[in-house]
Chains A and B, each alone.
Chain A
C-alpha cells in the first residue's frame, strides 16, 4: 500500500513538472510583456503553441538523418527525468536516491549533447554556430554547476537533493558559502536556459542567437517536443534554486495529503516568485556580446570554487 502511494506521489511529481513547465513559460512572458507596458499573450499561450505544433506536419530538411528525428525524444526524456528527480513539492520521493545533484547536472549535459549534435545535422552555418557557442557556454557552466554542487554538498553533507533540502530546512542559517553558491547558481541558470543577458529566447534572425540557432531546422511535433524540453529545463532550474535555497513548505516523506497540498501551494508560489525575479532581471539588463559570456560564467565558476575552498578551510563558512 505504501509502495503504491509512493509511486503515485512520484508519478504526480513527473506529471506536475510536465504540466507546469509551459505555464511557467507563459507566466514569465506575460509578466515581461506587462513590464514592457505591452499587453502580452495569454498565460496559457504556450500550451496552445505546443498543441498547434503537434498538429502540424513536420518539415524535415532533405538531408536530415535518423539522429535528427530521434534526438528530440532523447533530449526531452533526459530533461524530464532530471526535472522529475528535483524535489518540487515533497522530499524523499521513492526514486529520489536514483540520482544526486551531480547526476542531474550530467543528465542535463546528456540532453545538451544531443541538442548540440542536431544543430550540426543538417549542415547549415546557423546550426553550427549555435552548437559551437552552446558547447563553449557549457564548458564553463557545467564545471560551475559541479562546484555549486560541491559547495552545497559540503554544507549539507550530501549530494542528494532530498537530504540537502531537509538539512536546509532544519539548519537554516546565513552562510557565506551558500550566498556564493546562490549567485553562481543564478548565473548558471540564466546561461543554461538561454535567457537575457546570455541569449535572447524571443529572437530569430540574429547572429548572436544560440539556442534558437540549434533548433532552427525543427518544425511540427519535433519542435513541440524540444520546446517542451526547454520549458522543463527552466522549471528544473527554478525548482532547484527553490529546493536548495528556499526549501520552506516542502512536504516530508509520509507527510499525508495535507502536507502535499501545502507543498504544491508553496511550490506554485516559489515558481511565481522565481519567474517574476527572472523577468525583473531580464528587463533591467541588456544582452551581452557573446564573448562577454565566458567572463560572466567565469564569475559563476570562481564563486563556486571559492565557496568550495572556504568550506575546505572550515566547515563553518
Chain B
C-alpha cells in the first residue's frame, strides 16, 4: 500500500534525525545523513509518482494508526492531490539533499543543521499524508518548528535571531487560524477526519476560507502576511532556504487547495475576489520588493512571494469558474496554478542552490560586492542563468508555460456572469503581466550584477567553482526545467486526476496531440508548442553560427573596453544594483514603497560630498505590524501592574469579575 511505504519513508527520515543528533560530530556524518535523505525522498517520490501516473486508484484507502488523540488516532491517505504534492516536495527534497552532499561540507555548525534537516523533510511529507485535522495540524506545527530550528542554525547573527523570532510568531499565528478553520469545518459533531468534513456543511464557509487564507497564506507568503519570509528563508543554510522557498511554500499551497477545493464543497463567487485581489497584490509587490534587494538570497525569497501570488491568481480564477459551474475553465485555471507550483519548485531550488554556491565560494550575499563570477564560476553561472530564464517566464523554459496557461484562463473569464469579477479580472491580468515583465528585469539585474561585469571586490575576483555534486544537483534541476518547458503536455496530463477530483473536469488530453503541443481549449483559440519553439530556436541559432562562421571573418582581437571612449579604470564605476533598479524605483516606488529620493547638494565652495539618500518604506510592516506590535507592548505594560497588587485588591478583583460575569449572563439569556 503506497501510504504505508510513504509512512515508512517518513519514519526513516525521523530515525535519521535521531541518528544525526548522535553522530553529527563525525566527519562523514553530513554526507551519510544527506545520502539517506536523498534515498528516502527518492523512495517516496517513486511511490507518489506511481500513484499519480500509473495506479490512479479511484478511492484510495485510509490507513489508521493508533497514535495521537485517544479514540481518534491518526488517519493517512494518498489521493491524487497529495500524490502530486508529494512528487513536488520529494523532487525538491531529493535535489536539496543531493546539493547538500556537496554543500553541507561548508557548514560551520553541522550539529545545528543535520538533526533538523531530515525531520523537516519528514514533517512536510507528513502534512501531505494527513487525513484528519489533528494529524494535519501536528505535522504542520512540527514542520514549522523544525524549519524554525534550521532558520536559527546560525543564531550568532542577531539578524537571524530576529528572523527566527518573527517567523515563530507568524507560524503560530498561522496555525491558530488553521486550527479555528478546522474547528469550523468539524462543526458541532466534531468530525475531525477529512472524510467527515467533506460530507458536512460547515456553518460559516466564508469564514473558513478567510481563516485558511490567513493560515496557509502566512506560510506561503501572501501579502501582507509575508514579512517573515524574506527574513527567515535567507537566514537558513542555502539548501534549507531552497527547501523553504521551493518546497515548504508548496505545502502551504497544498493546505489551501485541500481545504478550499476539497473539504469546502460549494465555493461562492465572492471568495475568488478575495483570493484574486490578494494574489495579484502579492505578485506585483513581491517582485517589486525583489527588485530593490541587494542580498541575493533575500531577492530570491521576495521572488518566491511573487510566484506564490501567481499560483494564487490561478487558484482564484479556478474558484471563480468553479463557483459558476464552468468546470472546463476551472480545470484550466487549477492546472495552471498547480503547474506553476511545480515549476516554481524546480527553478527556485535551482536559484537558491546557485546563491548557495556563490555564498560558499565568496562568503558574500550582497550582489554589490560580487561581479564577474561568470569567469571564476562558469558552470554555476550557466546553471544560474538557466534558472533566471525559467523564472522570468521566457520560452522555451517551464516558467512560461504555466504563466501562459494562467493568461489563457484570464481570456475565458468574460463568460463569468458577476460584474465584480468582470471588472476585476482584466486588472488581475494586467498585474500578472506586469509581474512577469518586472521579474525579467529583476533577474537581469541579479545575474548581471552578480555574475557579469568586473569583480567589485577582491573576494569576487578570487572566487572558485563549487563542487561537482552541487553542480550535478543544479544541472538535474535545469534539465527538468527544460523538459517541463518543452513537454508540458505530459505534466498537464499527469495533473488530470488531481483536477478531475476537485473541479469535476480535466483539461483535454494533451499528450495525444501531434508534435507535443498544448491546446487548452481548442486549437483555433490558442496553442503553444514548447518543443517546436525550442527546436526552432536551436536550429536557427546553429544555422546562424554556421553561416557566420563560414562566411564571416573569424579573427578576434582582444582590446580594452571601448565605452564610448571613456574607459574607466575602477570597477566601482560600473553600474551598481541600486543604480540598475533606480528607473524602476522611480516609476513604481512612490506607490509601492512611498519611495523618496533626497539629494543633498552642498553649495559652491563647500567641500563636503554631495549625497543622494533613498528612503523606502515597507508599508506592510509600518502600517500593520508595527502598530499591532506597539499596541501589544502598550497593553502588556498596563497589565503588568496586575502582578504587583495586594491580596485585598486581588480578592476584590475576583469579586468584581464574578459579579460582572453574572451580570453579563443574566442580561444575555
Contact = CB atoms under 8 A, between A and B. Distances in A.
Interface of A: 54-63, 65-67, 73-74, 76-78, 80-81, 84, 95, 97-100, 102-103, 106-107, 109-110, 112-113, 116-117, 119-129, 131-133, 135-136, 138-143, 146-147, 150, 153-154, 157-160, 163, 204-205, 216-217, 220-221, 224-225, 290-291, 294, 301, 304-305, 308-309, 311-313, 315
B130 to A, nearest CB: 39
A1 B563 CA distance: 54
B562 interface: yes
B450 to A, nearest CB: 10
Among all A-B residue pairs, the 9 with the closest Cβ atoms:
A128-B575, A123-B453, A143-B433, A120-B448, A136-B583, A142-B437, A135-B441, A123-B454, A146-B433
A110 B389 contact: yes
Interface stretch (B56-64, B223-231, B528-536, B594-602): B528-536
- Max count, chain B CB within 10 A of own CB: residue among A61, A143, A290: A143
22 contacts: A60-B556, A73-B541, A74-B537, A77-B540, A84-B536, A98-B533, A99-B529, A100-B527, A116-B444, A117-B448, A121-B453, A123-B372, A125-B575, A128-B574, A135-B580, A139-B438, A141-B437, A147-B433, A160-B526, A160-B527, A294-B587, A313-B422
B452 A217 contact: no
Given A98-B532, A128-B580, A217 B561 contact: yes
A103 B453 contact: no
Interface SS of A by simple majority: helix
A62 B553 contact: no
B445 interface: yes
B43 interface: no
Contact of B558 (A60, A129, A312): A60
Contacts of B448: 116-117, 119-121, 128, 131
B553 A221 contact: yes
B373 to A, nearest CB: 10
Contact-residue bracket for chain B:
35 or more
Interface in B550-568: 551-553, 555-564, 567-568
A103 to B, nearest CB: 5
Given A124-B568, A216-B563, A140 B437 contact: yes
Given A98-B532, A125-B575, A113 B444 contact: yes
Contact of A312 (B425, B540, B564, B583): B425
Contacts of B545: 73
A179 to B, nearest CB: 17
- Max count, chain A CB within 10 A of own CB: residue among B434, B448, B574: B448
Interface of B: 371-372, 374-375, 378, 381, 385, 389, 392-395, 400, 404, 407-408, 410-411, 413-414, 422-423, 425-427, 429-430, 433-434, 436-438, 440-441, 443-445, 447-449, 452-454, 517, 523-529, 532-533, 536-538, 540-541, 544-545, 548, 551-553, 555-564, 567-568, 571, 573-575, 579-584, 586-587
A301 B430 contact: yes
B564 A216 contact: yes
B429 A150 contact: yes
B598 to A, nearest CB: 17
A140 B430 contact: no
B564 A204 contact: yes
Interface SS of B by simple majority: helix
Contacts of B564: 126, 204-205, 216
Given A159-B526, A163-B524, A305-B430, A113 B452 contact: no
B563 A126 contact: yes
A225 B544 contact: yes
A264 to B, nearest CB: 22
A107 B397 CA distance: 11
A312 B426 CA distance: 8
Contacts of B587: 136, 139-140, 294
A126 B563 CA distance: 6
Contacts of A120: 444, 448-449, 452-453, 575, 580
Contact of A65 (B374, B445, B527, B562): B374
A195 B549 CA distance: 31
A95 B445 CA distance: 34
Given A57-B556, A81-B536, A150 B411 contact: yes
Contacts of A138: 437, 440-441
A122 B532 contact: no
Nearest to B543: A77
- Max count, chain A CB within 10 A of own CB: residue among B400, B454, B556: B556
A305 B426 contact: yes
A98 B517 contact: yes
Contacts of A139: 434, 437-438, 440-441, 584, 587
A308 B437 contact: no
A223 to B, nearest CB: 11
Contacts of B536: 77, 81, 84, 95, 98
A54 B411 CA distance: 45
Contacts of B372: 63, 123
